[in-house]
Amino acid sequence: MKRFASRKSEFLPRNFYNLKADLPELPPPPLNPQTKEVLAPEELEVIFPQGFIQQEGSLEPYHPIPDEVLSAYEVYRPTPLIYAAGLKEELGTPAHILYKYEGVGPTGSHKSNTAIMQAYLAAQEGVEVLTTETGAGQWGSALAHAGSIFGLKVKVFMVRISYRQKPGRKIMMKLFGAEVEESPSPSTEAGQKFYRENPDHPGSLGIAISEAVEMAVKRKEAKYSLGSVLDAVLMHQSIIGLEAINQMQELGFEPDVIVGCVGGGSNFAGLAFPFVREHIKGKKKIEFIAVEPEICPTLTKGNLRYDHGDTAGLTPLLYMYTLGMDFVPPPIHAGGLRYHGMAPLVSHLVRLGVVKAQAYSQKKVFAAARLFLRTEGILPAPESSHAVAAVIDEALRAKEEKVERVILFNLSGHGFLDISAYEKVE
Ligand X SMILES: *Cc1c(COP(=O)(O)O)cnc(C)c1O
| Contact (CB, 8 A) for 297 and 322 | no
Contacts of 415 (CB under 8 A, 6+ apart): 369, 379, 380, 381, 382, 384, 385, 421, 422
Q: How far is the CB of 19 from ligand X (least distance, A)?
A: 15
* Near ligand X in 346-365, by CB under 6 A: none
Work out whether 413 is an interface residue with ligand X (CB under 6 A).
yes
Q: How many other C-beta atoms lie within 10 A of the C-beta of residue 40?
A: 10
| Contact (CB, 8 A) for 216 and 224 | yes
Of 18, 114, 358, 384, the one binding ligand X by CB under 6 A? 384
Query: Strand 257-261 and strand 287-293: pairing?
Result: parallel
State which H helix or E strand residue 50 sits in: helix 50-57
Q: How far is the CB of 354 from ligand X (least distance, A)?
A: 17
Work out whether 106 is an interface residue with ligand X (CB under 6 A).
no
Q: How far apart are CA 110 and CA 113, in angstroms?
A: 6
Q: How far is the CB of 266 from ligand X (least distance, A)?
A: 3
Q: Which is nearer to ligand X, 142 or 398 (CB)?
A: 142
Q: How far is the CB of 165 from ligand X (least distance, A)?
A: 15
Of 266, 298, 311, 322, the one binding ligand X by CB under 6 A? 266
Q: Which is nearer to ligand X, 102 or 256 (CB)?
A: 102
Q: Which is nearer to ligand X, 217 or 425 (CB)?
A: 425
Work out whether 113 is an interface residue with ligand X (CB under 6 A).
no
Q: Which stretch binds ligand X (CB under 6 A): 31-39, 271-279, 381-389, 392-400?
A: 381-389
Q: Which is nearer to ligand X, 96 or 105 (CB)?
A: 105
Q: How far is the CB of 111 from ligand X (least distance, A)?
A: 5
Q: Which is nearer to ligand X, 131 or 228 (CB)?
A: 228
Work out whether 140 is an interface residue with ligand X (CB under 6 A).
no
Closest residue to ligand X using C-beta atoms: 413
| Contact (CB, 8 A) for 349 and 64 | no
Work out whether 264 is an interface residue with ligand X (CB under 6 A).
yes
Quick one: 424 exposed, middle or buried, by C-beta within 10 A (0-12, 13-18, 19+)?
exposed
* Near ligand X in 317-346, by CB under 6 A: 336-337
Q: How far is the CB of 328 from ligand X (least distance, A)?
A: 17
Work out whether 302 is an interface residue with ligand X (CB under 6 A).
no
Identify which of 177, 173, 195, 197 has the alpha carbon closest to the alpha carbon of residue 186: 195
Angle at 204 between CA 199 and CA 206, to 5 degrees: 120
Q: How many other C-beta atoms lie within 10 A of the C-beta of residue 59?
A: 10
Q: How many other C-beta atoms lie within 10 A of the C-beta of residue 68?
A: 16
- Mutual angle of helices 138-150 and 67-74, in 10-degree steps: 120
Of 209, 257, 261, 276, the one binding ligand X by CB under 6 A? 261
Q: How far is the CB of 341 from ligand X (least distance, A)?
A: 11
Q: Is the peptide bond before 61 cis (omega within 30 degrees of 0)?
A: no
| Contact (CB, 8 A) for 275 and 255 | yes
The interface mask with ligand X, positions 200-239, x = CB under 6 A, is ----------------------------x-----------
| Contact (CB, 8 A) for 263 and 383 | yes
Work out whether 33 is an interface residue with ligand X (CB under 6 A).
no
Q: Which stretch binds ligand X (CB under 6 A): 145-153, 257-265, 362-370, 392-400?
A: 257-265
Binding residues for ligand X (CB under 6 A): 109, 111, 138-139, 228, 261-268, 336-337, 381, 383-384, 412-413
